A = this chain, B = another copy of it.
Amino acid sequence: MPTLRDLGEVEVLRRLAAARRPPADTVVDAGDDAAVVRAEPGHDLVVTTDTLVEGVHFLPAWLAPAALGSRLAAANLSDLAAMCARPRWALLSAGVRAARETESLLDLQRGLAAALEREGAGIVGGNLTAVEGPEWFGLTLIGEAVRGAVWTRYGARPGDLLAVTGSPGRAGAGSRLAGALGEGARAPEWAPLLATWLAPVARVSLARALGVAGGVTAAIDLSDGVGGDLARLCDASGTGVEIDEAAWPADDLLERAAAALSATVERLRFGASDDYELLLAIDPDARGPCAVVAERLNVPLAFVGTFTEAPSVMTVRDAGGGTRPLEASGYDHFVGAG
């Protein structure tokens, strides 16, 4: 199998270009100095970028190239979901070793393109660089939103409901199981947790459907963990939040993982975890319609708390009615897991 060095940059770029289709509304595709695309009139552009670094964000032993591409798509798609935007055009920037097999890079692009295409987006350009140290893959994703219709982090109001998709903490649990059990984490019983860690799916369709239904006042995606990301949303909105522990989605598997990891389930639920689920602030009047939308799309959506007046104060109310502070720990790239 030829490596990147065997083929050289020009041929590698040619094969990458030949293996993908330009997305809709691409006027000039990759291969020129820049790509040219045409946005919808009356829409704003929503732009985000995220990079996965070998050894920091992914471990090659756990993530085949196509899955890595898919995960890179999810990280960026999730940011656009949290803004209620429609994903459109992506640029891939990669730092790869010259000894890498060309086919594995094509596989990565296939996984990336497939994940983007499922949401109506595609690759229009990028950049390839040889590196000698850890590899990295960066994506910039451009989306569109009807003017004035984007969700931000700063719109939550006291009295709005806190809703969460899926079961946050599963990705972090999968990652911790791999660290603690090594190959043992590949046991079938842990498969759903490993899948959330390795193959997360961004909530783009749900976000866009909720956007149509209305009533979402603020949103953030879970790339860090409930504690950290909810703190960001509260800080930006100038609110506090009280989580109703009894309403939080029950997750037997997460509880078993907590036992296997000698951790509390609360630590898994609220600690560092990149689930790419959504945290939403929803007007109480829109609870019913939003629940119907989620059910129709088969996305678990739980109403788990209420935003409060107390700026940045986050509490958990337990089944007995007592409250305790929610810790806002997350992942710090320069310091490590908090």
Which A residues are within 8 Å of any B CB, using their own CB?
4-5, 7-10, 12, 27-28, 31-39, 41, 44-51, 53, 55-57, 78-80, 82-83, 85, 89, 91, 93, 95, 98, 124-134, 136, 138, 140, 142-143, 145, 147, 150, 152-154, 219-221, 236, 332-335
The residue on B at minimum CB distance from A126 is B49
- A91 lies within 8 A of B129 (CB): no
- Decide: A28 near B333, CB < 8 A? Known: A33-B79, A39-B39, A49-B127: no
- Decide: A82 near B34, CB < 8 A? Known: A8-B334, A142-B142, A334-B12: yes
- Decide: A47 near B335, CB < 8 A? Known: A80-B34, A131-B133, A133-B133: no
Give how many copies assemble into the complex.
Answer: 2
What separation, in Å, do the CA atoms of A51 and B71 have in the docked complex?
21
What separation, in Å, do the CA atoms of A154 and B29 have in the docked complex?
12
Query: Which of B47, B51, B56, B82 is the one whose CB lies under 8 Å from A89?
Result: B47
The residue on B at minimum CB distance from A231 is B10
- B85 lies within 8 A of A34 (CB): yes
The residue on B at minimum CB distance from A221 is B33
- B39 lies within 8 A of A45 (CB): yes
Query: Which of B27, B53, B79, B132 is the one whose CB lies under 8 Å from A131?
Result: B53
- B27 lies within 8 A of A44 (CB): yes
Taking CB atoms, residues of chain B closer than 8 Å to A134 are 131-133
The residue on B at minimum CB distance from A53 is B129
- B34 lies within 8 A of A47 (CB): yes
Taking CB atoms, residues of chain B closer than 8 Å to A85 are 34
Q: What is the distance, in angstroms, from A198's C-beta to the closest C-beta of chain B?
A: 19
- Decide: A334 near B50, CB < 8 A? Known: A133-B133, A138-B127, A150-B28: no
Taking CB atoms, residues of chain B closer than 8 Å to A150 are 27-28, 36
4 extra interchain contacts, Cβ-Cβ under 8 A, other than A34-B48, A49-B140, A51-B95? A32-B152, A49-B125, A98-B334, A128-B333
- A49 lies within 8 A of B91 (CB): yes
What separation, in Å, do the CA atoms of A131 and B136 have in the docked complex?
10
Closest 10 pairs between A and B when the two form their complex, measured CB to CB = A133-B133, A34-B48, A33-B82, A140-B140, A33-B79, A98-B334, A130-B333, A49-B91, A4-B334, A9-B332
Query: Which of B8, B82, B138 is the one whose CB lies under 8 Å from A93?
Result: B138
- B27 lies within 8 A of A142 (CB): no
- A127 lies within 8 A of B50 (CB): yes
List 5 A-B pairs, Cβ < 8 Å.
A33-B153, A38-B45, A127-B138, A132-B134, A142-B142
Taking CB atoms, residues of chain B closer than 8 Å to A145 are 36
Taking CB atoms, residues of chain B closer than 8 Å to A153 are 31-33
Taking CB atoms, residues of chain B closer than 8 Å to A27 are 44, 150
